[in-house]
Amino acid sequence: MWGGRFSEATDKFVAEFTASVNFDKRMANQDIQGSIAHATMLGECGIITKDESQKIIDGLNQVKAEIEKGEFVWKVELEDVHMNVESRLTALIGDVGKKLHTGRSRNDQVATDIRLWLRDETDNILALLKRLQGGLLDLAEQHTETIMPGFTHLQTAQPVSFAHHVMAWFEMLCRDSERFSETRKRINQMPLGSAALAGTTYPIDRTITARLLGFEGICQNSLDAVSDRDFAIEFTANASILMMHLSRMSEELILWMSAQFGFIHIPDRFCTGSSIMPQKKNPDVPELVRGKAARVFGQLTTLLTLMKNQPLAYNKDNQEDKEPLFDCVDTLTGSLLAFADMLPNIVPNSENMRAATLKGYATATDLADYLVKKGLPFRDAHEVVGSAVALGVTKGVDLAELSLDELRQFSDLIGDDVFECLTLEGSLNARNHIGGTAPQAVKGAIERGRERIA
């Protein structure tokens, strides 16, 4: 590639150490896609002849077919995917293949390949998110009246429905989807035509290649275009937030599946056993996703650290951007696939959930609200209910199990109607507004959710 400048061959170890073909060959389809567009533009602009352009395009399609059939021989000595493809093209069609690199550099070529590849992967992730969200909506729809304890500080706080909790997960994923959709716009900007760093002296037309490749815009500064990896960092930041969400969900699933909670059943196909304890059923999928979140966080740190001290424009350091990005995409894709298959199939244990809700004085706030509606200031109502809870703790019973006389000793505003607000169903139904846990409110949220992902 650069024999004219050098007086000796590259050291064999150095050649292997600096080569990237073993990992960047996964961008071969995007590399060929970009090269076909570039060759088309060169022909339309008269930089090469139309016949030469078509011959290059036909040759590139032949190379693509060889790769798809597994017949292509990748060579480390050719360093990267770009030179492997170009070398094979030249072997197939002769010297005209050497004209493909006119008006471009590997710097803008690799920047284009990464953007094309990441755009495709972003579309795949958005589709997986949509599938997972649809599964959550289906699960929620079945359980708008299945009552469970809502927690703060992992202590029983107020009754909610299982559907309401599932819809909280759905909202997290909606924000994730929005982030990836917004990032896709910044990924979908074309660096091709920037050449090494300063642009090219050939009369190229970048709008042609942008149109052929489906880019929404063209990178406006050649120095920035070849050295920018913000889009990859932003993608990995989005992936980190999404994996954080999946990890939080995993933590709840792991707790809920434990014997101490017994809230849910995860189908056996998503669990494993123990080599020594025959009774064990381990929630390995949620545990592994929880662990893989750390891996994605690490890739974000890698990319930030990689870029933090690089001067303009391209540096060899940037070769190190691909492996963390590839691993991030693979890890995120696998985690989403696992959750999209697993989450819609979990089964709540409604009896255990209800029993747990009854143990934690979950309707205490409802009793306070009841007193406020009777005219008592909230702070005074808070104290009254606290005293009633203390009595319940002493007697080992829930608020709803205290007698009317026992409740009235704390406030004469309490009447026979108090027990309506102390039931779990009454507590849920009282919160019938947008964002509330009442069955009707949650059903409305599910309907709106389906519209949002349609």
Strands (DSSP E) contained in 266-366 are 347-348
What percentage of the chain reaches a pLDDT higher than 70?
Answer: 97
Active site residues: 153, 274
Model confidence pLDDT, tens digit, residues 234-246: 999 999 999 999 9
User: pTM for this structure?
Assistant: 0.92
Decide if 173 contacts 452 (C-beta within 8 A): no
Decide if 329 contacts 119 (C-beta within 8 A): no
Q: Chain-centre distance of CA 257, in angstroms?
A: 24
Model confidence pLDDT, tens digit, residues 101-113: 999 999 999 999 9
Residue 148 forms beta bridges with which residues? 160
Please give the Cα distance from 147 to 357 (Å, whole number): 8
Q: Which two structure tokens, joined as six digits, stand for 274?
A: 């123990």
Residue 265 forms beta bridges with which residues? 347
Decide if 422 contacts 400 (C-beta within 8 A): yes
Model confidence pLDDT, tens digit, residues 419-439: 988 999 999 999 999 999 999
Mean pLDDT, range 51-80, rounded to an integer: 97
Answer whether residue 359 shows pLDDT above 70.
Answer: yes
Q: Where are the alpha helices (DSSP H) in 145-227?
A: 162-187, 206-213, 222-227
Please give the Cα distance from 1 to 165 (Å, whole number): 59
If we measure between CA atoms, which residue out of 353, 363, 352 comes closest to residue 431?
Answer: 363
At the second CATH level, the architecture of 107-146+154-203+213-354 is: Up-down Bundle (1.20)
Mean pLDDT, range 77-87, rounded to an integer: 96
Please give the Cα distance from 314 to 104 (Å, whole number): 14
If we measure between CA atoms, which residue out of 197, 168, 216 comes closest to residue 110?
Answer: 197
Answer whether residue 364 shows pLDDT above 90.
Answer: yes
12-102 belongs to which CATH class? Answer: mainly alpha
Please give the Cα distance from 394 to 66 (Å, whole number): 78
Answer whether residue 337 shows pLDDT above 90.
Answer: yes
- What is the model's pLDDT at position 301? 98
Q: Which residues contact 160 (CB under 8 A, 6 or more apart)?
A: 147, 148, 149, 150, 428, 437
Answer whether residue 23 shows pLDDT above 70.
Answer: yes
Residue 107: count of CB within 10 angstroms of its CB? 21
Answer whether residue 8 shows pLDDT above 80.
Answer: no
* pLDDT confidence band for 342 (50 / 70 / 90): very high
Instruction: Characterize 320-341 residue by residue with b for buried, 16 or more Cβ atoms within 10 angstroms of its Cβ, and e for exposed.
Output: bbbebbbbbbebbeebbebbbb
Answer whether residue 5 shows pLDDT above 70.
Answer: no
Residue ranges per structural domain of the chain: 12-102, 107-146+154-203+213-354, 358-452
Answer whether residue 7 shows pLDDT above 80.
Answer: no
At the second CATH level, the architecture of 358-452 is: Orthogonal Bundle (1.10)
- What is the model's pLDDT at position 279? 86
**Which is higher by pLDDT, 306 or 15?**
306
Please give the Cα distance from 115 to 190 (Å, whole number): 8
* pLDDT confidence band for 16 (50 / 70 / 90): confident
